[in-house]
Amino acid sequence: MAKRASKSKSSSRSGAASRSAKPAKKKLADTDTRWWVPSFSVVTSSIVIAILCAAILFGLPSLEHRTSKRLASAGVLPTIDWPVSPQMTDASGVPQTWMLPEHKEHLMGLVRRTILDHAARNTYDPIDGSLLRDISTMLFDTGWFLSAPRVEREKEGRVRISGHWRAPGAVVRYKGRDHLVSLTGELLPYSYDAGTSQFHCIHGLTQPMPTHDDGSLAYGKRWQSPELKASLELLKALQTATYFHQIIGIEASNFTSGNDRGQLVLLTDEGNRVVWGVPFDLNGAPLGERPSKEKMETLQYLYEASGRIDQGLKEINITRFQPTRRNIP
C-alpha cells in the first residue's frame, strides 16, 4: 500500500516537472541536428533528478506517517494460519485444524492485546515493523511454536501469522488443575479445571512444572519428568488401537523415578485400571514381565472378546503371561 502511494506521489511531482520542461523534450528528439540540445538536456535531467530525490527524501516519511495513521484508525486485522491435519477433513476433503476453539480464542486474544498495548503507548506503527516483531516474540513465548512465527503485513491493515506448531499431547493433573503439554512434554499455555478437558490425563508426576528464573511458568519448555515422558510414549504407541477410545489417562504415581522401570497404569472411561507395567518397549524389563507387543495383543484380545479392555473389573493386570483380575468393591 505504501509503495503504491509513494509511486503516485513521485509520479505527480515528476509529472509536474515534465510538463514544465516540454520544450526540452522536443529538443531531445532533435539532438542529432542541434548542437546546443545536449547541454540543455543535462541541465533538465539534473533538475528532474533533484526533484525526485527531494520527493523521496521529504515525501516518503510523511507518506509512511499518513499510511500508518490510516492503518491505526482502521485497526489491524490479524489472521492466524492454524495448523491442519491430513487426517481431519471436512465433507469436501479439505484438511481442518486440530486446534480447539478455546485455544484459538486464547491466542487471538493475546494478539489483540498486543495491538492494543501498542496503541496505548502511542507506538503503534505497522510500517516500521515493531508491532510485527512484538507479535512474533509474544507468540513464540506462549510455547505453541517450535520457532518464532512469521508475521507479515498485508493489504488494508491485515496481518498474517504463520509458523511451525507444537501439537498438544495430553494434560497433566498437577495441584488440582489439568495442565496442557505437547506431544513431547513441553508446557503449553492452557489449563483446565480437573477432569474437564478432552485430552488424556496423566496423574502422579512428582517433578514441578518448568519455570523461569523469576518463578514464572516457562511455556515451551519441557517438563523434566521420566513419568511424563514414559506416559506420552505409551499413549502414542496405543493411539491407533481400536480400543484406544476406552483409555482416558495414565496413572504414573508408582513409577520409580531415575531408573525408568516404574509401573504405568491405564485408566479407562468406566473408572477402572489396567496395569500396563514398565514403559513401552523398555529393554531389560523385569523378569517375567511380558514385552509390549504381547501386552497390546492381550488388550486387543480382551476388547474383541468382551468389548472392554478392563473386562468390567476395577483392576486387571496384563504384565504377566496370564492376566490377573481384581474386582475391587
pTM, to two decimals:
0.70
pLDDT at residue 8 greater than cutoff 60: no
What is the model's pLDDT at position 67? 40
For residue 283, the SS3 value is: coil
CA-to-CA distance for 264 and 289, rounded, in angstroms?
13
**Domain range spanning residue 142?**
78-162
205-238 residue pLDDT tens: 989 999 999 999 999 999 999 999 999 999 999 9
Instruction: Examine the domain organization and report whether 65 and 124 are in the same domain.
Output: no
For residue 309, give the C-alpha cell: 479392555
230-287 residue pLDDT tens: 999 999 999 999 999 999 999 999 886 444 467 899 999 999 999 999 998 776 666 6
Instruction: Examine the domain organization and report whether 194 and 299 are in the same domain.
Output: yes
Instruction: Examine the domain organization and report whether 60 and 82 are in the same domain.
Output: no
* Domain final position from 15, 49, 74: 74
φ, ψ at 299 (rounded to 5°): -60, -40
Strand order in the sheet with 315-317: 187-193, 177-182, 168-174, 201-203, 247-251, 264-268, 273-277, 315-317, 324-326
Specify the number of domains making up the chain.
Answer: 3
- pLDDT category at 28 given cuts 50, 70, 90 is very low
Instruction: Examine the domain organization and report whether 208 and 292 are in the same domain.
Output: yes
Instruction: Examine the domain organization and report whether 16 and 134 are in the same domain.
Output: no
Q: How high is the mean pLDDT of the chain? A: 79
Instruction: Examine the domain organization and report whether 65 and 83 are in the same domain.
Output: no
Query: Residues for the chain: how many in total?
Result: 329
Range 51-71 average pLDDT: 50
Range 46-54 average pLDDT: 60
* Domain final position from 74, 93, 128: 74
111-154 residue pLDDT tens: 988 888 877 776 555 555 788 999 999 999 999 999 999 999 88
φ, ψ at 67 (rounded to 5°): -65, -40
Residue 316, domain CATH? 3.40.50.11690
Instruction: Examine the domain organization and report whether 118 and 246 are in the same domain.
Output: no
Instruction: Examine the domain organization and report whether 317 and 177 are in the same domain.
Output: yes
Range 65-76 average pLDDT: 50
* Domain final position from 38, 54, 74: 74
Q: Which residues contact 119 (CB under 8 A, 6 or more apart)?
A: 72
